Amino acid sequence: MAPGYREVYRNYLMLMKGLSIQSDLFRLSMKDLAQLYEYWCFLKIHDLLSRKYELLKQDIIKINRTGVFVTLDKTQKAKMVYRNPKNGELFTLYYNALPKGDQSPTLSQRPDNVLTLKKNDSSAEYKYIFDAKYRMNPAYEGTPYYEKYKMPGPEEDDINTMHRYRDAIVYMDGQHREFERSMFGTYVLFPYHDEAQFREHRFYKSIELINIGAFPFLPNSTALMEAFLDEIIQDSPEKDYERSTQPRGTKDYYRNKMTGKNVAVGSLREASQLAAALKYGFYHVPLENISDHKLLTQLEYVALYQSRSQFQSTGEMGIHWYGKVLDWKVVRRKEITEIPARKGTEEKLYVKFTVEQWMKRDKPIISGGRGIYTLLYTSKYMFDRASEIAELKLETDEDLVKWREHRRVGQVKVNLNHEQVDLASKVLGIDFMES
């Protein structure tokens, strides 16, 4: 089993002992073609993925002293684990099994193929079912199917099964002990050759609308499926999430979560202010710097911006520290005794934020050549994901979509119409910079 000898021994077994396939795969009769199609669909999906992504683990092919065994049948489970070399994300292809934790509280569900994606910057897993159905409606003229769809396609019962899968398979949240629907998309794979024609079928167009539909899948008809696999793997977590049909009102709810300004990023006038803020758990800012006092009622976090002019000598510039706001109140500057007031400011009104605990970011938000003049308001969503302070100015849906898609493949440069981010009134552009 030493390095080198192990590979020689493995090749020797493969050549000398031959190929043994369990479950009588070579003795399939005509009545078993549907099962053979299921095997082929799983292996072909694996083939499409393995061309572009690194295979890390598989439990289909096993070697022992008697030969090479391929274990793939309806009574056994199989999975393949891959890694995206561009960003290190892992994803898994399951055959005849549900990922760990997924279940149905009512009836048992066992789809043929489940692809599970684990995206960076997301705790959720994005799961998609590809169910092989070896049957097709030819849509003969005069039949109800032809009157509805005008072309061959999957049976309606199979599409209904996809709706059932998405609603019936749920995941138990271990922390809150609540069930959550875990399948983001469900699709029929069926034997049809004309991919160009099927693009016009209702069951293909429905994929974009509700993420349920069908793909033609045969040895020479895999282009639509391959393109879709690449798309969902490369998509950002947010775009994957938006593919699924959500309850009414979800869009407005998450727009508020993404763009609601619940974080205030304040600049520090001098380096000594940082030490006092961290020691006594507070941050203070002149009341006149807060143009809209209503914002005070929705702020949940406060963060500290360390400018180049004050902190270049220490090397700690940008945003390193943030904390949850326990309380805030308007006081005279002389009442803030943790830091002596400068002469002439004693009676000036200030807002004093009491911070529960200061936390340090794993990676600071760097200045990127820009600064914060007084206060910058942003969402916790953007604060957790930004790498430069200019990104904290993104607010519109269009800018957010463009920004997060660029961030999936490299670094992003946000151009503003002012060097001080809080004074900027317009986003001039979002440029992609390949890392």
DSSP states of 352-389: EEEEEEEEEEEEEEB-TT-B-SSEEEE-HHHHHH-SBG
HSE-CB for 83 with a 13 A CA cutoff: 8
Q: What is the pLDDT of residues 104-123, one digit of tens each?
A: 555 456 788 999 888 876 76
The strand pairing partners of 355, in sequence order, are 325
Q: How far is CA 352 from the centre of its chain?
A: 37
Cβ-count burial of 318 within 10 angstroms (0-12 exposed, 13-18 middle, 19+ buried)? buried
Answer yes or no: are the C-beta atoms of 211 and 184 closer than 8 Å. Answer: yes
For every residue of 177-222, DSSP letters joined together read TEEEE-EEEEEEEE----HHHHTTSHHHHHHHHHSEEEEE-BTTB-
User: Quick check: 156 pLDDT over 70?
Assistant: yes
Q: Of the candidates 50, 73, 44, which has an alpha carbon nearest to the alpha carbon of residue 60? A: 73
Asked if 108 and 98 count as a contact pair (C-beta separation under 8 A), the reply is no
The DSSP annotation for 44-101 comes to HHHHHHHTTSEEEEESSEEEETTEEEE--STTS-EEEEEE-TTT--EEEEEES-PPTT
Asked whether 406 and 430 are in contact (CB, 8 A), the reply is: yes
Q: How do strand 125-132 and strand 183-190 relate by DSSP bridges? A: parallel
pLDDT greater than 70 at residue 134: yes
Tell me which residue of 113, 157, 163 sits closest to 137, measured CA to CA: 157
Which residues are paired to 147 by β-bridges? none
Kindly state the DSSP code that residue 248 receives in the 8-state scheme.
T
Is 76's pLDDT higher than 80? no
Look at residue 235 in the predicted model and tell me its pLDDT. 79
Sign of CA dihedral 35, 41, 47, 50: negative
pLDDT at residue 238 tops 50: yes
**How far, in whole angstroms, is CA 190 from its chain's centroid?**
28
**C-alpha 178 chain-centroid distance:** 21
Yes or no: say if 184 and 128 are a contact pair by the CB < 8 Å rule.
Answer: yes
Averaged pLDDT of the chain: 81
Buried b (16+ CB within 10 A) or exposed e, 53-74: beeeeeebeeeeeeebebebbe
Residue 431's H or E segment, with its range, is strand 427-433
Strand partners, 352: 284, 329
Provide the pLDDT for residue 385. Answer: 84
CA distance 43 to 39: 6
Given a cut of 60, whether residue 102 has pLDDT beyond it is no
Nearest alpha-carbon partner for 350 in 373, 339, 334: 334
Average pLDDT estimate for 308-329:
88
Contact 236, 408 (CB under 8 A): yes
With a pLDDT cut of 90, the percent of the chain lying above it is 37
Q: Which long-range contacts (C-beta less than 8 Å, at least 24 apart) are formed by 420-428? A: 420/370, 420/371, 420/372, 420/373, 421/370, 421/371, 421/372, 421/376, 421/389, 421/390, 421/392, 421/393, 422/372, 422/373, 422/374, 422/375, 422/376, 422/377, 423/373, 424/393, 427/393, 427/394, 427/396, 427/399
> Hey, which of 84-98, 186-200, 378-392, 402-416 has the most confident mean pLDDT?
186-200
Query: Span 282-302, mean pLDDT?
Result: 88
Contact 421, 396 (CB under 8 A): no
Question: Is the pLDDT reported for residue 177 higher than 60?
Answer: no
| pLDDT score at 386 | 86
User: Cα 365–369–371 angle (5° rounding)?
Assistant: 70
For residues 193-213, one letter each, b for 16 or more C-beta atoms within 10 angstroms of the residue's C-beta and e for the rest, the string is eebeebeebebbebbeeebbb
pLDDT at 247 over 70: no
Token output for 415: 């151009």
Tell me the average pLDDT across 231-246.
Answer: 71
272 vs 239 pLDDT, higher one: 272
**Are 91 and 117 in contact, with CB atoms under 8 Å apart?**
yes
